Amino acid sequence: MEQLEQALTMIFTTPLVPAAFAGLTWGILGSSLPGMSASITMALLLPFTYALPPMPAIVMLASCYIGAEYGGSIPAILIRTPGTNSAAATILDGYEMNRQGRGGEALGISLWSGVIGGLWGLAMLVLLTEPLSRVALLFKPTTYCCLGVLGLSLIASLTSKSLLKGLAAAVLGLMVATIGTDPVSGVSRFTFGSPDLLEGITPIFVMVGFFAVSELMMRSGVKPLTLKPNVSIRVRLPKLPMMKKIARAQAIGSSIGTVEGLMPGIGGILASFLAYNEARRWSKEPEKFGHGAEEGVAAPEAANNTTASTALVPLLSFGIPGSNSAAVLLGGLLIHGLLPGPRLFEQNGDVVLGLYTGSFVANLGQILVGMLILPVSVWLVNRPKPYLSAFIFALIMSGIYTVHMSLFDLGIVLTAGLFGYFMRYFGFPILPAVLGVVLGGMVENNLRRSLQLSAGDLSIFLEDPVAMVFLVLAVLIVVAALLNEWRLSAKTRKASVA
């Protein structure tokens, strides 16, 4: 009750509401551009939050994530191109509805289901995060080190078809994290005499380079789809009978989104496709799916909006981001000196409460902003792509400069973009590398602190049961992924022989 009062006071006395609406607006606009995923949209916003106080900065980023999940469905429904990966399942029935002249209705269902999914996800986030983070109070340096290893192996095995490529990406990220002054001995590493590198590589530069610059490179010269110039669509929110009709699909989507969001590396795309399939299985009219079924839009949209909130549970509890977008949010927390885990709740309770309140405001505000902003989104989607690419590049250069007022940082971002491009070109996943950069310090510092405590005796890890559980889990995950890969390649070989 006391926290509810505090939250209400926050709404009226802090810049939380403008931050939520600004993030939401940017999230919807950014991700309505095909190819601009939620993480890219957030990464572009990240440098702007640098100058803000921690609470509005985090609220802005979280609201951007919420808005991006709806924004991604706009091009999915209107031009059969998902703005974000997780909106891919929305195409199946959303675009069909649009072809039948029901595009506005599909957008309304998407928006409404997003709100329902988002609010459910937020409730789960509030209920689960703090109790889970209390577990982290028991953690010692050995536990943190092994938690980092577990997080990296989990993400490496889940985000790529090839475990080896995932692991290589994680190692590359860890290598980047070692650049700068060694925090234990004070010795400078891999700085090559440059004072600009002494403080290390700021994770947001890597994120912007990996996500945004590499995307601009990937899409250079590729012709995008556009809307018909005379298209004029208005969002039509569902009326009560329709709300009742899609409620079951929304419940299915929200339940699946909850579970998937809690599992690092799974992400919204799997959640939305699973939700779509389950909604079809439990529907009274399964034959309508694929032909413009309203439930076919409601289920995936509820699922990916739920995931947007529940993916923050492992992030806020243990500091392990489960998705690209959560990794960007972690970057936002870190640049404001906020370390996820139990201390975050003890020392920065106001930021956490602000995050919850801001997410609530953003989820509700989605209806208003989503309806008002649609014409702008449609206008943006129809701009010539060269203008969009040029303005995004200009935004990256201007935004990054604001972080340290240094042109050197722009070079780091472009170099990260080059690496990100080649990683994607060769089929390496980006998220393990980003996670390596973010978690590298935690893994190394805790490893060295543990070994300092034990005078170099590795058996200190055996004395920590939680650390051992994490380590065994990490090994099991790697072995399971290797076995799965081996089984798949054997199957492919058999099929090619046949």
**Residue 175 sits in the site that holds other proteins (CB under 8 A):** yes
- Least distance from other proteins to the Cβ atom of residue 136, Å: 23
Orientation angle between helical segments 295-310 and 54-71, nearest 10 degrees? 160
**Residue 493 sits in the site that holds other proteins (CB under 8 A):** yes
Of 21-29, 169-177, 241-249, 300-308, the segment contacting other proteins by CB under 8 A is 169-177
Residues numbered 403 to 422 that lie near other proteins (CB under 8 A) are 405, 407, 410-411, 414, 417-418, 421-422
Nearer to other proteins, 259 or 397 (CB): 397
Residues numbered 138 to 167 that lie near other proteins (CB under 8 A) are 161-162, 164-165, 167
Number of residues that bind other proteins (CB under 8 A): 67
- Least distance from other proteins to the Cβ atom of residue 389, Å: 5
**Residue 444 sits in the site that holds other proteins (CB under 8 A):** yes
Among 229, 455, 459, 498, binds other proteins (CB under 8 A): 455
Whether residue 29 contacts residue 76, with contact meaning beta carbons closer than 8 Å, is answered with no
Rounded to whole angstroms, the Cα distance separating 48 from 318 reads: 26
- Least distance from other proteins to the Cβ atom of residue 166, Å: 10
**Residue 394 sits in the site that holds other proteins (CB under 8 A):** yes
* CA dist list (Å): 130 to 4, 127, 312, 469: 16, 7, 12, 21
| AA letter at 325 | S
Among 4, 8, 127, 218, binds other proteins (CB under 8 A): 218
**Residue 178 sits in the site that holds other proteins (CB under 8 A):** yes
Whether residue 413 contacts residue 396, with contact meaning beta carbons closer than 8 Å, is answered with yes
**Residue 447 sits in the site that holds other proteins (CB under 8 A):** yes
- Least distance from other proteins to the Cβ atom of residue 489, Å: 7
Coil, strand or helix at 188: strand
Length of the chain: 498
Nearer to other proteins, 164 or 475 (CB): 164
List Cβ<8 Å contacts ≥24 apart for 310-313: 310/121, 310/124, 310/125, 310/128, 310/257, 310/258, 310/260, 310/261, 310/262, 311/261, 311/262, 311/267, 311/268, 312/62, 312/125, 312/129, 312/261, 313/124, 313/125, 313/128, 313/129, 313/132, 313/261, 313/262
Rounded to whole angstroms, the Cα distance separating 268 from 245 reads: 23
Strand partners, 189: 180
Residue ranges in contact with other proteins by CB under 8 A: 48, 51, 161-162, 164-165, 167-168, 171-172, 174-175, 178, 182, 184-185, 187-190, 192, 213, 216-222, 384-387, 389-391, 393-395, 397-398, 401-402, 405, 407, 410-411, 414, 417-418, 421-422, 425-428, 444, 447-448, 451-452, 455-456, 489, 492-493, 496
